[in-house]
């Protein structure tokens, strides 16, 4: 059962990935597919249920995205959400019209009494999130109304003879207070999900899959960055392949304090995999000497990394595969799944064309997972919390956190200041509350006074943000007392710094990094 997916047909809703996550939270394996998937292909994928997502179109527009009407005859349970409801009802004899006025926001839903499995254990009056300009006006004799709101008389329906349900509101957003109960009812009581899609099961299946993919004499090369995705990817591959996995960690000299040791500890003794640490500080600092332009820094670092990684990878006997920690949102957004929706925005900082250039095949064992699932997988595989819950860190490392030219003394200053900040954040129990927190070395000097003397020293910027997707962010409201401790310690303990400032810019208009 856990292997059979719930397919989510993507009609362009901004919430489509959220629906998938909510389904997975209920222990069912959700996969997002293109809206025009054929009934035939659908049958092959053997889903336990289909969810038709919302979307920005109107079903009566000429070019509105439609679905294969054969889907409704497969006998597979269907839940239409918002646009998906309108499409479902239109397909099965209902009429859709513009609302007298668009309904947007929290609304009270009246659940009608009667046999109503979708609303089992839901209050008779419950708050739901609406966001629609059209609605179903008439459902015809084949449907039974299940719920209504003051301005949407047909807010939920069930088909009389088919396992088809439809709702006008969005159960996936947290504003719908009993949304998970409603989705759970559909999955467990209509689709017959047994809620058994767990991380332990995922590990078992993923390990089998890797063993099937990789030949007995072949080795897999996995680049470690210090970040959570590559670490979890490596841990999973190590479980499947043992010493046929070779991890390559390029120490570019631009890492945070203690980072190299942490990676070595997690992948050294505890794993059968081979760990190759390449000490490349000199090459990176050489290519960065006197370079101040941020993009120039990034390009130089990228090229140097590829050269070094390539050399190392090509020196590994029988290396045939390159592992990449690609996640599900990247696969979906880059159009990388043949059944998935078309590409939207691609934002990948990964190794790009490297596998082909090396003559390697590409293996991506995390491509079905969301970020929070990757973390759960990491814990399941026994990785330490310090790696699993680590904030993201840019590939170009501290080089883009030193504004202006990068050299060893500046890196040393920044590393110390950054580690003081993170240490205090951990001590205050706030590290996991923030999404990304770090120090930046500014390219200016300012006047200060220490003891009886005047100082003229450098400035550290402290940045801490809250974000779900790193596309937009707000600055963290850190307690003043914590900021005061961080500031005092940095100025006292890091020679060369006499001033600390806190960055209170949101993104946009700012970015998270300073360069």
Nearer of residues 145 and 395 to ligand XMP, judged by Cβ: 395
- What's the closest the beta carbon of residue 343 comes to ligand XMP, in angstroms? 20
Q: Binder to ligand XMP among 14, 311, 472, 511 (CB under 6 A)?
A: 511
Q: Is 298 in the site for ligand XMP (CB under 6 A)?
A: yes
User: Any long-range contacts for 420-423 (C-beta under 8 Å, 24+ apart)?
Assistant: 420/486, 420/489, 420/490, 420/493, 420/494, 421/462, 421/486, 421/490, 422/256
Contact code string over 316-335 relative to ligand XMP, x by CB under 6 A: --------------------
Residues 6+ apart with CB under 8 A from 459: 441, 442, 444, 445, 446, 497, 498, 499, 500, 501
Q: Judge residue 105's burial from the number of C-beta atoms within 10 Å of its C-beta, 0-12 exposed, 13-18 middle, 19 or more buried.
A: exposed
Residues in Cβ contact with 217 at an 8 Å cutoff, skipping those fewer than 6 apart: 318
Beta strands in 4-138 (DSSP E): 6-10, 30-34, 49-52, 78-81, 95-111, 125-138
- Binding to ligand XMP in span 375-394, by CB under 6 A: 392, 394
Q: How far apart are CA 498 and CA 445, in angstroms?
A: 9
Find tokens 């925005």 and name the residue: 345
Shortest approach of ligand XMP to residue 494 CB, angstroms? 22
Is residue 349 part of the contact set for ligand XMP (CB under 6 A)?
yes
Identify which range of 27-35, 92-100, 416-424, 504-512 contacts ligand XMP by CB under 6 A: 504-512
Q: Is 371 in the site for ligand XMP (CB under 6 A)?
A: no
Q: Which of 35, 132, 159, 170 is catalytic?
A: 170
Cβ closer to ligand XMP: 80 or 394?
Answer: 394
In the residue annotation, 349 being an active-site residue is answered as no
As measured in angstroms, the least distance from the Cβ of 218 to ligand XMP is 28
Catalytic choice (42, 67, 82, 247) = 82
Q: Which is nearer to ligand XMP, 9 or 465 (CB)?
A: 465
Residue 152 among the catalytic residues: no
Binding of residue 513 to ligand XMP (CB under 6 A): yes
Cβ distance to ligand XMP smaller for residue 12 or 294: 294
Q: Is 470 in the site for ligand XMP (CB under 6 A)?
A: yes
In 3D, which of 12, 79, 18, 8 has the Cα closest to residue 45?
Answer: 8
Size of the site for ligand XMP (CB under 6 A): 12
Is 77 exposed, middle or buried, given 0-12, 13-18 or 19+ CB atoms closer than 10 A?
buried
Q: Under the criterion CB under 6 A, does residue 396 sit at the interface with ligand XMP?
A: yes
- Region from 38-46, 332-340, 494-502, 507-515 binding ligand XMP, contact rule CB under 6 A: 507-515
Of 36 and 513, the one with the shorter C-beta distance to ligand XMP is 513
Cα–Cα distances in Å, from 277 out to 120, 173, 226, 242, 261?
56, 44, 12, 18, 10
Q: Helix axis angle, 294-314 relative to 281-288, nearest 10°?
A: 150
What residues line the site for ligand XMP (CB under 6 A)? 298, 349, 392, 394-396, 436, 470, 507, 511-513
Which residues are catalytically annotated?
82, 170, 172
């Amino acid at each position: 059962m856990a292997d059979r997916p719930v397919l989510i047909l993507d009609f362009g809703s901004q919430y489509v990935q959220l629906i998938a996550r909510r389904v997975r939270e209920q222990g069912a394996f959700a996969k997002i597919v293109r809206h025009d998937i054929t009934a035939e292909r659908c049958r092959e994928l053997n889903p336990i249920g289909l969810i038709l997502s919302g979307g920005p179109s109107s079903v009566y527009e000429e070019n509105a995205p439609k679905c294969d009407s054969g889907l409704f005859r497969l006998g597979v349970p269907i839940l239409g959400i918002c646009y998906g409801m309108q499409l479902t009802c239109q397909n099965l004899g209902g009429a859709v019209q513009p609302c007298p006025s668009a309904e947007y926001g929290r609304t009270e839903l009246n659940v009608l009494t009667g046999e109503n499995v979708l609303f089992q254990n839901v209050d008779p009056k419950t708050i739901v999130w609406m966001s629609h300009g059209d609605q179903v006006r008439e459902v015809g004799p084949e449907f039974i109304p299940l719920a209504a709101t003051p301005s949407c008389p047909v807010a939920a329906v069930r088909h009389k003879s088919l396992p088809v349900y439809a709702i006008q509101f969005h159960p996936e957003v947290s504003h719908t207070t009993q949304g998970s109960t409603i989705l759970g009812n559909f999955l467990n009581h209509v689709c017959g999900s047994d809620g058994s899609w767990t991380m332990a099961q995922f590990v078992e299946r993923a390990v089998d899959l890797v063993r099937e993919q990789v030949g007995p004499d072949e080795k897999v090369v996995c680049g470690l960055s210090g970040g959570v995705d590559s670490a979890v990817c490596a841990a999973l591959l190590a479980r499947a392949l043992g010493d046929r996995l070779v991890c390559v960690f390029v120490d570019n000299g631009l890492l945070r304090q203690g980072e190299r040791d942490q990676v070595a500890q997690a992948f050294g003794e505890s794993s059968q995999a081979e760990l190759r640490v390449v000490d490349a500080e000199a090459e990176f600092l050489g290519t960065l000497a006197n370079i101040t332009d941020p993009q120039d820094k990034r390009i130089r670092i990228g090229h140097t990394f590829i050269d070094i990684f390539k050399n190392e990878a090509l020196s590994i006997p029988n290396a045939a595969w390159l592992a990449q920690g690609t996640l599900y949102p990247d696969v979906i957004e880059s159009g990388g799944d043949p059944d998935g929706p078309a590409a939207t925005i691609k934002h990948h900082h990964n190794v790009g064309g490297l596998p082909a250039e090396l003559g390697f095949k590409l293996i991506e064992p995390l491509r079905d997972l969301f970020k929070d699932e990757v973390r759960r997988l990491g814990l399941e595989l026994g990785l330490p919390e310090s790696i699993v819950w680590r904030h993201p860190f840019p590939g170009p490392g501290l080089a883009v956190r030193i504004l202006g030219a990068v050299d060893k003394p500046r890196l040393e200053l920044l590393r110390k200041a950054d580690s003081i900040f993170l240490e205090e954040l951990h001590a205050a129990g706030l590290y996991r509350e923030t999404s990304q927190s770090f120090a930046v070395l500014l390219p200016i000097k300012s006047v200060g006074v220490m003891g009886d003397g005047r100082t003229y020293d450098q400035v550290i910027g402290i940045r801490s943000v809250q974000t779900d997707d790193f596309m937009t962010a707000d600055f963290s409201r850190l307690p003043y007392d914590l900021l005061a401790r961080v500031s005092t310690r940095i100025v006292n303990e890091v020679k060369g710094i006499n001033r600390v400032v806190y960055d209170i810019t949101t993104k946009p208009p700012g970015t998270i990094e300073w360069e």
